[in-house]
Structure formats: structure tokens, C-alpha cells
Amino acid sequence: MNHFRHPPDIDPFASALDAVMADIAISVQLPPGLHAKAGGRYEAIRDFAERPGSPLNGRILRFYPQGSMAIDATTSTRGTDDEYDLDIVAALDLDPHADPDEVLDLLYRSLEGYPTGQKVERQTRCVTVRYADRMHVDVTPAVRLGHGAERVSHIFHAHPDKPASEHFHVPMNAYGFAEWYRARTPLERRFAAAFNKRLHEAYGMEVRADAEVDEILDQVPIIVKAVATVALQLLKRHRNVAYAGATGRIPPSVMLSCFAGQASQPGLTLTDMVIRLARTVASALRAASARREPIRVVNPVHPEDCFTDRWPENVAQQDEYAAKLTDLADGLAWIKQHGSSLEDIQEWLRERFGSHVVSTSVRRFNDRTGRAVQSGLHAYTPRGGLYVPSRPALVGLGGAAAAAPARASAHTFRGGHRW
């Protein structure tokens, strides 16, 4: 695996804004406990699908993760804070040109009757297994083609309520895309250690406070490895909140993942990477609109695999999303440039990342900062920088403290309310 080493004196969360953005990402992550549970369910679904008597007994060649699960970018689903969508490919020993409806029905029948408490649903391109704890697993049947790169396959599109004339095969190479993404987003050791330590501590898993980078990497399972991946999760969360009340399709996660791989630049701070990614996507959307056509984003290792085949439906949809991304990037850039108090911008963050998630992140930030000040370690100034207190004092998010500099004069945030 490729590694990227930050300079040893760089704290990935030296900025209070970066620290809070990391806490927001942690709040929408698949928790470490569920991360482990997901692996067990992955195996259990396969075992059930190929049990003796199953229509797919002896016909499953392999199960492998795709999408967010394959690149460690799983994020809570649209409109929720604790529901997670995991994606698996079931590679089957079937004719790649088989009838799409029959293949999906075959997979559905193989999972029908899955252990009590779970619900199995036939979808247009997959079969979904829903769990009582709000995790659900989408199993997509695929058949490898007899030519091309490893695991180049057909998946099958067949809406249950549509005629056979509207069913079709879809080219796919999810495996190749995940390999491409991982090569573009190498392990950033210092960031991975700092982020995953916070992630595990947030869920009550002990990590030694004075552990060095290598010790942390040995102590905890590294769920997220690169700044670009956390930026991608934050952009997906922003999209989920922006479209929480919308009907129909939304900007696809795999499109955002492709842009994250393209925009990845190891060594950037988390906030800078979010800004870079948001601007990259918005720019591409606007360029397509300038050509008066919907954007077309394809798998970089298999161009026949189109990531935007079902969204956008028109230019207006991509213009709307480009405007939302520009608002996010401009707001974050303004905060960085003007040193806004994080206390002042909590409502702005809530509108873009969700009220409950931001409130949880603020509380976590306050708790950590309070402990740091009491123990004489560093904390944050009201303007978001680091300071070392001369004596123990509690500092809230953006609040004043005994050892902190005097409060700055009022400022205008994004031309709006004045604090």
C-alpha cells in the first residue's frame, strides 16, 4: 500500500474547524462495532444464499464489496443519522446475457426466508436485506463477461412493474473502480492515526492518550485511511441533508467517489479537501451545463460503466446541485479566511450537515477541549486557532476562556447576521 507521511509536527486537527469537521464525519460513520458486524452479515448472507436447496446452490462464485463499503466511505443514509446502506456484489455462474428479471428473481428466491427479523426486498438492480438495527445490505447479482479486465461484468436492470422491453444489462466493474480509488488515496499515516483514534474513542473504545502514530495504527482497526475519503463522506452527508425531503434520485455516491479519487491531494487539511472536492464537482457540473447536456461520469477503468446513467435527468438538476456545492465551498472558505468563531457558525453547519449530527459533534468537541484545558494541554482560541492555557480553564466551542485572547470585534458571516 502507498503511504503518505505528513511532516511530524503537523497536527491534522490543529484548526478548530478541521476538528469539528472531523467530529461531524465521525458522527455519520459506520461505527466500529457495526463495521465488524457488517463483515459477519456479509458472510451470513452468502452462506444462506448458497445453502443446500437454494436456487443458487453451487452458482455463487464470490461475494465482494462495492461502492462505499469497498472504499471505506460508508455514511448514514439520506434523512437519517443511524441507518447504513452496504453494497455487495454476488458474482454468479450464469449466462451474462440472461434475462435480467429472471436473474433478480433467482437471487430474491435464494434469500427469501432469511433468518427471522430481517426483511428481504426485490429492487430494480439488487435485492435488499433489512436488519432491525437499521442497517441494510444491497446484494447486486453480476455475471462476469468472458473478456476484458478482471471482474468486468454485467449487472441486471429490471423494474418489477415495467415490461420486459424496458429491462436491460448494465456494464460494471466495481472491483476495478475500488482498486483505482485506493491507488489514488494512499494511507496518510498521521491523519489516519488521529482520525481513527477519535472514531474509536467516540464509541467508548480505549486508545492510549500518549500513543504515537505507529502505536495507534497497531491498536485500532484503520477504517478510514485518507483525507479525501473523509471529505467524500462529508460531501455525501451534505448531499443527504440537502435532499432529505426530495423525491426521486439524487446525485449518486459513486459519481462523488470518482471525483474524490480525481481530486485527492494527500497533505491537505480536511476542510481544504472538502472545499477542493466541492469545487471540483461543481465545476464539472457547470461545464456540462455550458454544453447544454447532462454530465457524464464514467468508471475510469471501464468507460462503458457509466456512473451517471440515472442522474441527472436534466441540466436544471445539476445546476441546482452545483449551486449547493458552491455555497458549501464558499462558506467554508469564508470561515477559514475570516477566522469566524465556531460558536457563531453552528447554525450554518446544522443547515448543511444536520442538526443532531452537528450538536453531537459540538458536544464532543467541547468535552475534548475541556479535558485538554484542565490537563494543561492545548485547546482552541475563539477564532479557531490553538493556544496553551496558563492555568486550567474550560473552553466551549468558540467560547472565551481565562487564558484565551480577548474576544474579537463583531464580524459579518457571509453577508448575513452580524454577531
Is residue 138 part of the annotated active site? The answer reads yes
Nearest to 271 by CA among 327, 320, 227, 316: 227
Report d(CA 200, CA 213) in Å as an integer: 15
Amino acid letter, 215: E
Catalytic pick from 23, 87, 272, 344? 87
Cell of residue 264, nine digits: 485527492
87, 68 contact by CB (below 8 A): yes
Report d(CA 281, CA 258) in Å as an integer: 10
CB within 8 A of 71, min separation 6: which ones?
Answer: 178, 181, 182, 185, 229, 257
Helix, strand or coil, per DSSP, at residue 76 = strand
Is residue 81 part of the annotated active site? The answer reads no
Catalytic pick from 18, 72, 85, 101? 85
> Which runs of E-coded beta strand occur in 93-152?
119-122, 127-130, 135-144
141, 107 contact by CB (below 8 A): yes
Cell of residue 249, nine digits: 434520485
Report d(CA 77, CA 283) in Å as an integer: 25
Amino acid letter, 178: A
Q: Which H or E run contains 255? A: helix 253-263
Nearest to 17 by CA among 220, 295, 271: 271
Is residue 85 part of the annotated active site? The answer reads yes
Catalytic pick from 18, 101, 138, 344? 138
Residues known to be catalytic:
85, 87, 138
